[in-house]
Structure 1
Amino acid sequence: MSVHHSSDSSDSVGAASTVAPTQDLEKAFADGQNKELAQQDVQDTAIDKFRVELSPEEDPKNMSVFRKWLAVLVISTAAFCVTSCSSAAAFTEEGTQIDFGASTEVAILGVSLFVQGLGLGPLLAGPLSELYGRNVVYRASFFLFWVFTFPVAFAPNMAVFLVFRWITGFCGAAFLSVAGGSIGDMFANHEVATPMALFTVSPFIGPAVGPLIAGFITQHTTWRWLYRVFLIWNFLQVVCLILFVRETYAPVLLKWKAARLRKSENDSRYYCGLDRHDGLWDSIKKSCYVPFQLIVLDRMALLLDLWSALLLGILYLAFQVFPIIFGVGHHFNTQSVGMSFLGIGIGMVVAVACTPFWNSVYRRETEKHKGSPPPEMRLLIGMVGAVITPISLFWLAFTTYPHVHWIVPIIASVFLGLGIVFCFTAVFTYLVVAYRPVAASAMAGNTFIRTTFAAAFPLFAGQMYNKLGTVGATALLAGLTTIIAPLPFIFYRIGARLRASSKFAAA
C-alpha cells in the first residue's frame, strides 16, 4: 500500500510577512515549536515506508478556492467578534454601575479583565492546537465563549459579571493565536498575502468597531442587550465554524491518517511525526516558561515588547478618553461617541491596504541582499509608524478644545490608527524573523506584555484626564511615544550586533 505525505503546511506563510499578527503566529509555530518535528519527518520518510504522508487530494492547499475563502471569512469574522466584544464593554460601564452599585474603577474592569484573558489564553491554545489540531480548538473555544457570555448578559451582580468577562476573554484568545495558521495551511506562498491581509484587519478593526456597535445599542436600550446581541452573533459563529471550516493542520491530518491505516491494515507500524510529540503538559510548561525567560534575559525583545505594549495601552485608553473628548467636550450622545472611533478604524484599514507597497519594498530589499535580507529590514515600516504615532497624538491633544470642530481630532485619530498598525507590523514580523528558533515564545511574551498594558491603562484614564485635562494628558502620551520612537531606527542599525550576542535570536 502506498502512503503519502505533504510538507508541513505552515511553510506557506513566508510571502505575506508584512500582515503581521496572525501570520507571525503561524510562522512562529512553523519555525519554532514544529521545526524539529518537520526536519525529523524529512529524515524518516527517506528510510521508512511506514512513514505516513498526505496524498494531493488530502492536502488542504488543494481545496477549492470557494471553500478556502469561505473558511477565511468565517475565521476572520470570529476574530472580529472577539475583539469587538473586548472594547464594547466600555459602553456598558455606566449601566453596570447603576445596576450593581459599582465604582467607576470596578466597572472599567469589564474591559481590563477581558483583555487580560486574551493575553493568557494563547499559553493554552497554542499547545492544544499542536496536539489536537486547529478545528477542535476553534470549536471548543468559541462554544465556550458563547456559553460563558450568558452569565455576562444575565449577571446577578458585579462579581459574576467580571469573572465571566475574564473567562470569555480567555476562551476567545484562540482566534488571535491559532487562526492565522489555518490560512497558512490552505494557501501557497504566492497566494497567502491577500487572505492573510483580510484576516489581519479583523482583530485590528474589532476594538474600533466594538464601541460603534455598543453605542447604538446602549443608546436605545439597556446594557444587557449588548451582550444578548453578542450571544446571537456567537451562536451563528459556532454554527459556521462547524459547517464551513475543516481541519487544515497537516501534522494532525497525518496523525488521523496513521490511525486509520493502523486499524484498516491491522499493522501498528504506520506512524507520523506527531506520534512522538511531547505530551500536552510538557508543551504547556514550555509555552509558559520560555516567553518570560526571553523577556527577562533579552533586552531587545523586552524593548520591542514595551513599545508595542505602550501603543496597545494607548488604544485601549481611548475607550475611556473618547467619551470625555467627544461626549463631554462636544456634547455627543452615546451612539455618536461610538461613531467617533471610526477614525481609528479607517486608519487601520488604510494601513492594511498599504500591504502591497510594503511587500514591494521588502522584495527590493531581498534582491539587494541577494535573497538573504537581514531581519532588520522588517523595521522599515516601524520607522514610519514611529513618526506618525506621536504626531497624530500631539495633533489630537491640541485639537481637543471644545471650540475646535470635532472633525479635526477625528482626522488625527485616522493617523493614529495608521501608525499603530505600522508599528505592530514591524514588531511582530521582526520578533518572528529575528527570534526564529523561539518565535512562538517571542510572540507569546509580547502578547502577555501588550495585554497587561491594555488592561491597566483604562484603569487610570479618568484620574489622569481629570487632573491634566484632555490636552495635557494626551500630550503626555504623545511625549511617551516620542521618547520611544527612535527604537526601530536604533535597532535597524545595531540589531545585527545585538542578535549576535543574544542566546535566543537567530544570528
Structure 2
Amino acid sequence: MPGSAETLNDTRLKFNEESGVAMNNDKEFDQIPVVQEGFQEGKTGNDGDPYLVVWDGHQDPGCPKGFKKRNKWIITLIVAAGAFNTTCASSIYTSTYEQIERDFKSSHELAIAGLSLFVMGLGIGPMFLAPLSEFYGRRPIYIVSFACYVLFLIPCAAAQNITTMLVGRFLDGVAGSAFLSVAGGTVGDMFEKGDLGLPMMVYTASPFVGPEVGPLIGGYINENTHWRWTWYVMIIWSFVQWVLLCLVPETYNPVLLQRKAAKVRRETGDDRYYAPYDRREDGILKTVLISCKRPFLLLIFEPMVLALCTFTALLLGILYLFFQAFGIVFRGSHGFTLSQLGLSFLGLFVGMILGVSTDPLWRRVYRRLVEKRGESIPEFRLPPGIMGGILVPIGLLWFGWTTYRSIHWIVPIIGSAIFGTGTLLVYSAVFAFLVDCYPIYAASAMAANSFSRSCFAAGFPLFSTQMYQALGNQYATLILALLTVAMAPFPFIFFKYGERLRKNSRYARSP
C-alpha cells in the first residue's frame, strides 16, 4: 500500500551527494532530500511513493533554500549574533571577579568557577537541545531556550551570594548552548552547497569572536560602575536578541514537510499523504539517549576523532586560561587598568579575523588537491590545520617569553594574535574534516568535539592562577606550548594516513 511503513523502511536513508543528505539505519535523520513534490496522484516521491510529500524544487514557497537571498542573510546574521551574545556572556563575567570576591567574600577560585560552570553548560546543553530540535524544529528551540537564557541572567544580576551566581551561570550556559548545536543547521538549511562557504564562515567565527569581546565590554563596565551593571547590559542586549529571534522562520526541512503534509491532508481529505518524519519510529527519549551515547562511542573507537577533539579542546582550554593569565601578565607586569586589560584581548580577536580572511587561500589549496587526485577525500580538509598546528606553539612561545616587564606590552599581544590565527585554522580544518569524514554521524562527531572542548575550557581556568604564580609567566606558557607541540603533528598524520585509517573504521566514510 502506498505510504506504508514498509515502503518508507525500504527507502531507509543513504548518503546522497547531490542533496547533501546524511541518513543511516539507526534512523538518525539530519535532512530531507530536495526532490520533486509527490503529494498528487501520479507524482512520486524519492521512493516511488505517490503519497510521500516532498518539496517541489526550490521554487516551492515553503522550501528554505527558496528564500530570498536578502532574507537568508538576515536570518544568518541574527543566529550568528545569538552565538556571539552567548559566548560573550561566558567571558564578560571575568571582569567582575574583583568586585564579586569583595561583595560575596568568596575565594578567587570560587569566583572562577562561575566561568567554568557556564562553559560546562555550553557543552552539556547540545546533548539534548539538538535532538529536541529534530522533533519540534529549530525555531521553538531558539525562542524557548533563549527566553530561558534571558531569565537566568536575572539571578546573576540579583545574586546576594556566590551560590546563586554559580547556579545561575550554569543554567544560563545550558540555555544558551542552542546556538552552538542548532544554529549551524539553520544556515545549512537555507544555502546551496556552492554558496554555503561565506555564510557558514560568518556563523562559525561568531562564537570564537565572542570570548575576546566579552572582557573588552566588561572591562569598561566594571571599571566605571558596579558589577551588577554587567548583567543589566547583558539582559537588555539579550532581550533585544530574543525579539529578533522571534522573527526568524522555521527552516528545518523535516518539520516543514510535516506541516506541508498536514496541509495537503486537510486540502485533499486524504489521510494517506505523509512526510518522512510522520513515520519515524524513535521517540524523544530514545533520540536523546542516542545523542548522548554516540559521541562517546566515537571518542572511544575512533582515534582520529579522539586526537583531533583533544587538540581542539586543548586550544579552547588555553584560550579560557588566558582570561586569568592576561590579568597576571598585563595588570601585574604592565600595570593595565581593567578596561585596558579588556583591550589586550584584541590581539586574539585580530588573529582570529586574520585566520578567517585566509579562507580563499585554503579553498584554492583544496581545489588543487581535488583536481590532482580527481576526487574529493576528507583528508584534503586538513591543510589549514597543519599550518595552524605550526602557528599555535609559535604564538604561545612568542607570548610567554615576551611577558617581561622590560618588553613593550604590544609584543606579547602580537604573540597572542599568532596563537589566535593558528587556533582558528585548526578549528576550521577539524570541523570540516569531521563532517566530511563522518557524514552519517556528523552531528555526533561535532557533539563529541563540543563536549571535549567544554570540559577543557571549564577545567583550565581553575588551575591557571596557581600555575602562573608558581612557575612564572614564561615557564607556565612554555608548558602550554609544549602540549600544543605534542598535538600539532596530528593534522599532518591524518592528512597522510587518514585514508588508511578509514578503511578499518566502523563509523568513518569508506575510502
Instruction: Compute the TM-score of the two structures, normalised by the length of structure 2.
Output: 0.91
Give the AA of the match of 1:502.
Answer: S
Distance change (3 Å), C-alpha of 1:57 and 1:359: same
* Matched residue, 2:98: 94
Q: CA deviation at 1:346?
A: 0.6
Distance change (3 Å), C-alpha of 1:368 and 1:80: same
After superposition, residues 268-307 of structure 1 pair within 5 angstroms as 268-277=271-280, 278-307=282-311
2:112 is the alignment partner of 1:108: yes
After superposition, residues 205-220 of structure 1 pair within 5 angstroms as 205-220=209-224
Distance change (3 Å), C-alpha of 1:49 and 1:193: same
2:200 is the alignment partner of 1:196: yes
Q: Distance in 1 between matches of 2:299 and 2:373?
A: 30
Alpha-carbon contact 2:22-2:30 (below 8 Å) kept: no
* Matched residue, 2:8: none
- Listed as ranges, the gaps of 5+ residues in structure 1 are 1-6, 15-25
Q: Distance in 2 between matches of 1:164 and 1:12?
A: 45
Distance change (3 Å), C-alpha of 1:435 and 1:190: closer
Aligned with 2:354 (options 350, 355, 360):
350
Q: Distance in 1 between matches of 2:208 and 2:302?
A: 27
Give the AA of the match of 2:328.
Answer: I
2:493 is the alignment partner of 1:498: no
% identity of equivalent residues: 45
Q: CA deviation at 1:297?
A: 2.0
* Matched residue, 1:421: 424
2:228 is the alignment partner of 1:224: yes
Q: 1:341-377 CA deviation, whole Å, 9 max, x = no partner?
A: 000001111111111111111111121221x222111
* Matched residue, 1:53: 54
* Matched residue, 1:183: 187
Distance change (3 Å), C-alpha of 1:35 and 1:250: closer
Q: CA deviation at 1:12?
A: 8.8
For residue 58 of structure 1, give the secondary structure of its aligned residue in structure 2.
Answer: coil
The root-mean-square deviation of aligned C-alpha atoms, in Å, is 2.3
* Matched residue, 1:365: 369
Q: Distance in 1 between matches of 2:79 and 2:454?
A: 21
Q: CA deviation at 1:329?
A: 0.6
* Matched residue, 1:438: 441
2:369 is the alignment partner of 1:374: no
Alpha-carbon contact 1:32-1:438 (below 8 Å) kept: no
Q: CA deviation at 1:11?
A: 7.5
After superposition, residues 149-160 of structure 1 pair within 5 angstroms as 149-160=153-164
The runs of at least 4 consecutive aligned structure 1 residues that moved more than 3 Å come to: 10-14, 26-29, 35-46
- Listed as ranges, the gaps of 5+ residues in structure 2 are 1-12, 39-43
Q: Distance in 1 between matches of 2:27 and 2:145?
A: 24
Alpha-carbon contact 1:152-1:165 (below 8 Å) kept: yes
For residue 47 of structure 1, give the secondary structure of its aligned residue in structure 2.
Answer: coil
Give the AA of the match of 2:49.
Answer: D
Q: Distance in 2 between matches of 1:493 and 1:63?
A: 41
* Matched residue, 2:167: 163
Q: CA deviation at 1:72?
A: 1.2
Q: CA deviation at 1:13?
A: 9.5
* Matched residue, 1:237: 241
Q: Distance in 2 between matches of 1:453 and 1:477?
A: 13
* Matched residue, 2:4: none
Q: 1:205-259 CA deviation, whole Å, 9 max, x = no partner?
A: 001001101101111011111011000011001111112x111111111111112
Q: 1:422-477 CA deviation, whole Å, 9 max, x = no partner?
A: 11112111111112232211111111111000000000001000000001101111
Instruction: Compute the TM-score of the two structures, normalised by the length of structure 1.
Output: 0.92
Aligned with 1:316 (options 292, 317, 320):
320
For residue 61 of structure 2, give the secondary structure of its aligned residue in structure 1.
Answer: helix
2:410 is the alignment partner of 1:403: no
Q: 1:25-65 CA deviation, whole Å, 9 max, x = no partner?
A: x9899x99326965999995443222112342221122222
Q: Distance in 2 between matches of 1:155 and 1:27?
A: 45
Give the AA of the match of 2:507.
Answer: F
Q: Distance in 2 between matches of 1:27 and 1:310?
A: 29
Q: Distance in 1 between matches of 2:438 and 2:327?
A: 40
Q: Distance in 2 between matches of 1:354 and 1:33?
A: 34
Alpha-carbon contact 1:110-1:162 (below 8 Å) kept: yes
Q: Give the number of the structure whose residues are more often helix, by fraction.
A: 1
Q: CA deviation at 1:298?
A: 2.0
* Matched residue, 1:451: 454
Give the AA of the match of 2:51.
Answer: F
Q: Distance in 2 between matches of 1:297 and 1:442?
A: 12
Aligned with 1:471 (options 439, 453, 474):
474
Aligned length: 486
After superposition, residues 241-256 of structure 1 pair within 5 angstroms as 241-243=245-247, 245-256=248-259
Alpha-carbon contact 2:45-2:54 (below 8 Å) kept: no
* Matched residue, 2:266: 263
* Matched residue, 2:79: 75
